[in-house]
Amino acid sequence: MQLLQTSLDAPFAIQMENLVKTYGSGPTAVHAIRGVNLSVRPGEVVGLLGPSGSGKTTLLQCLGAIIDPTSGRIILDGELIYDNGWLIKDLRALRRDKIGFVFQAPYLIPFISVLDNVALLPMLAGQSNSNARQRALELLTVLEVSHRAHAKPFELSGGEQQRVAIARALANKPPFILADEPTAPLDSDRSLIVMNLLARLAAQYNTAIIVITHDDVIIPRFKRLYRLRDGIATEEQGEGLPFPDQPA
Amino acid sequence: MINLAVKEIAYSWFRYVLTAFGLGLLIGVTLTMTGLVRGMMDDAISLIQGTHADLWVVQDDTMGPYAESSTLYDDLYRSIAGLPGVAEVSNVAYLTVQARYGGTDIRVLVAGFNHDRPGEPPYLVAGRPITKSHYEAIADTKTGLKVGDKIGIRRDEYTIVGLTNRMVSSGGDPVVFITMQDAQIVQFQKDNTSIYNDRNRLASNPQLNRPGIPGLLQAVTVSQLSNNKINAVLVRVSPGYDPSGVADNIRRWKHFKVYTYEQMTKILQEKVIVNALRQLGMFMGILAIVSTAIIALIIYTMTLGKIKEIAVLKLVGAKNSTIAGMILQEAWGLGLLGFIVGKVASTLWAPFFPKHIEFIFTDTIVAFLLTMLICTLSSIIGIRAALKVQPSSALGG
């Protein structure tokens, strides 16, 4: 088994080794993921690219502990969680505490306030309402939407909603965030702003982020990315262009 | 942990309240049906309760005047009065008629009674008791008549001198009390044309109009036109006597059918109004099924409306119990709100129903518990739909 080599010595926030996912069996089996090796360090933002049908969604679901891989290993935050089978019984708690999700659309709960949307995750994790709301307010302040804390999601602009969604993903201080085309509904300027935000937060909270994207505007900003084709991931060095409002 | 159900209800309160209002009207109809059944059962025995009798002596092989035709001679009471344990006896006659009033008809049960005897109206809410032998009446307030009004019953006109309350037939028709003599006329006296025709028929019968027996035709004619029939004899038993024992004695010696209060109540509630009760029961059953289906559909639709949010909740680690609890609480809220609307609505519209609607506290409690049970069962479909949602469906477009 070959471990993915990186140029840095820092421990990985997420590491996949020879991960395989096959749907069905026999002659009709579909090999969605064919021995993918992938790793992301804390504070690093990595791109995951690939055309439709390349296995991105399957890989995302395996990483997000949503579906069972067929074989391989996953190490999350230094803990081996999958070794040809899940070693963690409560995958729901794993997702809640260790993985943040940012979706194409914000998917905020429409009937609770912005503050509660963010505070919901710490509450689900067992934190008291006041602690959870305090944490949520901190994140909303960092993301510059604290002035809309008590508004309902529909009262916010698309960009504000996406920032709230990012705050929600960070609410339980996960070591790793999966962002599934987070800039898809946004124009170029807003896409860059969101990506800049993600990069800043990754550094600020030492969180590893994998961004699945097709967005030509943000792809050149990754320093490192994985290109997925027919279930096989290839690591590439990105251009690492600075974000517009970020010092070069 | 915040209460997601309360938050969602507060968020879409108008739609929720509107849904609950619609559901409440359905529950209100069901409650009214229940009240109608209770009212019918209450109505069925209100008349026999009002007679204050212990026994009903009726024609043999019949179930008495409330269930079927029963005819006895009006002098029977004399022989019953002499039996041991009999305190009071009284003849009664009952007849449902369309009484004329102010150019329209009122369907009433005419009850003939003897003054100060069993069968007399138990109390008056207005006016005075009947003091004349003829052409005075006491009416139930449900007739809408007032003291001083005049109503036409068959050939004669009667003046309302008093009003009583809650005296209705098993079918819910209000009772008009008149004297026994008047009741016999109303029930048995024929109109002039019939009398004329009957006399001619008797006269043309050679068996009855024999030249050798000149008084025979007259005797037969008089007997045919007499009004010496009644429907039942009411008996009040002396203190210390068992009504069943007295009834057995009357049956043994007089060869009539005798019913105790309990037996007469059973006849009225289990035989006379049983079909109506079954019909209402069927309606209530159908309404309960319809309500269940509607509640299930509402909750299912509400669940489908937030399927993406549920997927997100599951993805970010919400327990199934959290999601199921949210749906269940919304269903309970719907049931609670709907029940309040239904209770208020049924209480408000009940007085406008022509039949008596009786709401009993126990029925209300049972109905409430049933509503909540139906809501719980109905929410299962919504909960199943929610629990089937894959967290992965939050991913992708």
Cβ–Cβ below 8 Å for B317 and A129 = no
Q: Which residues of B touch A155 (CB under 8 A)?
A: none
Cβ–Cβ below 8 Å for B395 and A103 = yes
Nearest in space to A62 (alpha carbons), one of A108, A117, A21: A21
- CA B189 vs CA B148, B216, B227: distances in Å: 26, 22, 7
Cβ–Cβ below 8 Å for B2 and A92 = no
Q: Which residues contact A103 (CB under 8 A, 6 or more apart)?
A: A165, A180, A182, B312, B394, B395
Long-range pairs of B7-15 with CB within 8 A, sequence gap ≥ 24: B7/A111, B7/A112, B7/A116, B8/A111, B8/B306, B8/B326, B8/B330, B9/B330, B9/B333, B10/A111, B11/A110, B11/A111, B11/A112, B11/A152, B12/A111
Cα A46 to chain centroid distance, Å, stands at 10
CA–CA distance, B47 with B110 (Å, rounded to integer): 12
CA–CA distance, A126 with B137 (Å, rounded to integer): 78
Name the one residue in this structure whose structure tokens are 């008549």: B145
Residues B262/B263/B269/B271 CA torsion (nearest 10 deg): 170
- For chain B, how many structural domains are there in total? 1
Most B CBs within 10 A among A113, A114, A120, hence the mutation to make, goes to A120
Instruction: Locate the domains of chain A by residue range.
Output: 14-84+91-237
Any domain includes B125: no
Q: Which residues of B touch A60 (CB under 8 A)?
A: 395
Q: Please, where are the H alpha helices in B189-242?
A: 192-203, 216-225
What tokens were used for B239?
A: 């203190």
Q: In angstroms, what separates the C-alpha of A218 from chain B's closest C-alpha?
A: 19
Q: Which residues of B touch A67 (CB under 8 A)?
A: 392
Report pLDDT for A8.
Answer: 42
In chain B, which among 277-306 make CB contacts under 8 A with chain A? 306
Report pLDDT for A247.
Answer: 42
Q: Which residues contact A89 (CB under 8 A, 6 or more apart)?
A: none
Chain A residues within 8 angstroms (CB to CB) of chain B = 57, 60-61, 64, 66-67, 92-93, 95-97, 101, 103-105, 107, 109-112, 116, 119-121, 123-125, 129, 152, 168, 180, 184
Name the one residue in this structure whose structure tokens are 């929720």: B16
pLDDT (average), residues A82-92: 89
- Smallest Cβ–Cβ distance between A111 and the set B8, B308, B319 belongs to B8
What tokens were used for A238?
A: 């990105």
- CA B40 vs CA A33, A202, B45, B372: distances in Å: 73, 75, 9, 27
Percent of chain B at pLDDT > 90 equals 42
Any domain includes B292: yes
User: Which residue of chain A comes nearest to B10, CA vs CA?
Assistant: A111
Any domain includes B329: yes
Angle between helices A114-124 and A158-170 (to 10 degrees): 20
Cβ–Cβ below 8 Å for A111 and B10 = yes
Each residue's pLDDT tens digit, A4-18: 334 344 488 999 999
What tokens were used for B168?
A: 């209705």
More confident residue, B195 or B347: B347
User: Which residue of chain B comes nearest to A168, CA vs CA?
Assistant: B316
Each residue's pLDDT tens digit, B104-123: 999 999 999 998 888 888 89
Which amino acid, one-letter code, is at B381?
I
Report pLDDT for A103.
Answer: 82
Inter-residue contact B38 to B355 (CB < 8 Å): no
Any domain includes B175: no
Each residue's pLDDT tens digit, B233-257: 999 999 999 999 999 988 887 778 9
What 8-state DSSP symbol labels residue B356?
-
Report pLDDT for A248.
Answer: 36
Phi-psi region of A181 (alpha: psi -120 to 50; beta: other; left: phi over 0): left
pLDDT (average), residues B170-191: 87
Any domain includes B134: no
Report pLDDT for B200.
Answer: 87
Q: Which fold has domain A14-84+91-237?
A: Rossmann fold (3.40.50)
pLDDT (average), residues B42-62: 88
Q: Tell me which residue range forms the domain holding B377.
A: 4-43+275-394
What tokens were used for B81?
A: 């009065």
What tokens were used for A233?
A: 């991931």
Report pLDDT for A73.
Answer: 93
Any domain includes B284: yes
Residue A39 CB: number of other CB atoms within 10 A?
Answer: 22
